[in-house]
Amino acid sequence: MRFRVASEIIYDVHSPSTIILNIHALRTPTQTVLEETFQIEPYVKTKELNSANGENRLVQFETLENKHLHLSYQAVVDASHTLMDSHQLSDSPVMQLDASVVPYLFASRYCQSDKLGKLAYDKFGSFEGAYAKVVAITEWIYKNVDYLSGSTNSQTSAYDTVTQRTGVCRDFAHLGIALCRALSIPARYFTGYAHQLNPPDFHACFEAFIGGQWLIFDPTRLAPLNGLVKIATSFDAAHASIATIFGSITCTGMTVTCEALDPDFLPFNHQDLPTRALTLSGYLKISGE
């Protein structure tokens, strides 16, 4: 399925600064970037960082002060979401996880799974199998946490959200990840472009590793799962900010768009999850397991 994605960001630069940008569509065996342009006006030289594990495509640049920068990114991306029968997904015991997956069992800045163990087991431990557990986690978050812009800030973590129960997509994702890890299910943060997201913005949800696959879950239910274009996966938002800024910069404008180019795009929504699961990571195909 092809998507046209775009983002524009306007920065007022007050001091000499370095920016690490995380807005490029990821290139993976199951997500192909067909066309892509990225420019900064006025021109600034950039450098792409190639992450060892293929989790993101960071772009770095430096800028002098007193600049008004206009960044624009556009791409056409072919994202191959795979649907599968969820009943065929066996659990992935810790002993079978390989070294690239194990770190996603551990607590991170915004996902303090070490503090959520008892709550996670009490609420979700009785569901049979990892897939049912993560579906239950995702539904619980959807039902108990209110989506409310401005209710949280950059320091809000899963430990807050589990009690305060308001937040934005980032907070929903962090709580989902923390609860999965508390149940020994590897989970990671997913940030991307989302078709039909309203209002349009960068989106965040999460992936859980079940049956040898990284499956996508979105507790916000704000966009179809098969309308996601991946920018990055990471431990949590601390490792996947849209922009990490070293210096004094104000963001004065941002627009994000994502549009399915196939006229007969058929949304696959979260409500369909209990029986069918979705992946955009294609782990199986890569490793040949």
Chain contacts with a copy of itself (rule: CB under 8 A): 18, 20, 47, 49-53, 58, 60-62, 93-95, 98-100, 102-103, 105-109, 111-112, 114-116, 118-119, 122, 144, 146, 154-155, 159, 162-166, 184, 235, 238-239, 244, 246
Q: How far is the CB of 125 from a copy of itself (least distance, A)?
A: 13
Query: In terms of CB distance, is 37 or 163 closer to a copy of itself?
Result: 163
Query: In terms of CB distance, is 50 or 88 closer to a copy of itself?
Result: 50
Cβ(229)–Cβ(25) below 8 Å: yes
Structure-token match 């997509």, residue found: 169
Q: How far is the CB of 136 from a copy of itself (least distance, A)?
A: 17
Q: How far is the CB of 282 from a copy of itself (least distance, A)?
A: 18
Query: In terms of CB distance, is 3 or 190 closer to a copy of itself?
Result: 190
Q: How far is the CB of 48 from a copy of itself (least distance, A)?
A: 9
**Is residue 14 classed as helix, strand or coil in its secondary structure?**
coil
Q: What does the alpha-carbon distance between residue 43 and residue 63 come to, in Å, rounded to a whole number?
A: 10
Which string of DSSP letters, residue by residue, matches 232-273? EEESSGGG--SEEEES-EEEEEEEEEEEE-STT-----GGGT
Q: How far is the CB of 119 from a copy of itself (least distance, A)?
A: 6
What value, to the nearest 5°, has the Cα angle with vertex 83 and ends 168 and 242?
30
Query: In terms of CB distance, is 24 or 195 closer to a copy of itself?
Result: 24
The 10 Å Cβ neighbour count of residue 83 is 13
